[in-house]
Amino acid sequence: MNLAALWDLPICFFIENNGFAVSTTVEEQTRVSSRGLAFGIPSFRVDGMDPVAVRVATEKALKIMRSGQGPTVIEATLYRFYHHGGGTPASAFGYRSKEDEAAWLKRDPLTVMLAGLKDRRWLDEDEDATMATRARKAMQAAANALTVEEGNKRTVIESLWPDPAVRDAGLRGDLTELEVKRFEEQETPSGQMSEMRYVDAVAEVMNHRMADDARIFCIGEDIHRLKGGTNGATKGLAAKYPD
C-alpha cells in the first residue's frame, strides 16, 4: 500500500471483509480493518452484499485511479455463509448461531440480484434455469477433471499428487544452521519411532515448552475456539495455560 501510494500506482486494493478469520471475529483481533487512510489512500467501505452498491463504489475508485491520483481501497463488508473451508455451516462449530446464518442468507447477493432482475423483467425463469444448469455443469466438469469418486466421497486423482521424491528439490540450505541444534533425520533416528499427526506433534512440543518456561505464550487466531484452532495445533493449551 505504501509503495502504491508513493508511486501513484492505479491499484485498487479490494478487501472482502467477511468478519471472521476462521472462527475469530475481526473485532477480537483488530481495531481497524481497513488501513488505507493511514497511507493517504482514498478508501471506501461498502455493503458487499449489494451488487449495485459495490458497482457504484468501484466506479468512484476507477475515476480516482484513471485520473492519475494513485491507488484506492474498497472494503466490502459481507458474510461468509459456511465455515472457513467446505460446505459445513459455521453454526455446526459453535461460533455462529443458526439464526444469524438464516438472517444473512436472506441477503444473499445472488438471490437478491436475481429477484431484482426478474422484478424489472430483465430476466425470466427459463433464462435463470438455463444459467443455473450451465453453472452446475461447469462445476461438475471441473470436479471430474481433478477427482474420482470413492464411495460417497471424492479424492484427488492419484497421478495429480506430487512425487514425494522431490521433497528436497530446490532447497539451497546445507543444514549448517542446525549444527548447534539437536535434530534427527527420519532415516537415521536415535530413538523409538512412532506414527503421529504433524499437528499433534506441534501441540505436544508447545505443551512441553510452555510447561518448562512461563515466558512462552501463544497468540493468534482460533486458539480459543475449535478445540485448539483449525486443526488442533493448540489443543488443550488454552485450558491448561489460561493466563
Give catalytic residue positions: 80, 84, 95
CA–CA separation, 158 and 150 (whole Å): 12
Question: How close are the terminal C-alpha atoms of the chain, in Å?
Answer: 36
Of the candidates 142, 138, 3, 157, the residue with the CA atom closest to the CA atom of residue 70? 3
Phi and psi dihedrals of 215, rounded to 5?
-75, -15
Q: Are strands 72-77 and 12-17 parallel, antiparallel or unpaired?
A: parallel
Q: From CA 109, how far away is CA 76, in angstroms rounded?
A: 12
Among candidate residues 59, 17, 20, 56, the one with its CA nearest the CA of residue 34 = 17
Q: How far apart are CA 34 and CA 13, in angstroms?
A: 10
185: DSSP letter: -
Q: Which residues pair with 154 in a beta bridge?
A: 149
49 and 105 Cβ atoms separated by less than 8 Å = no
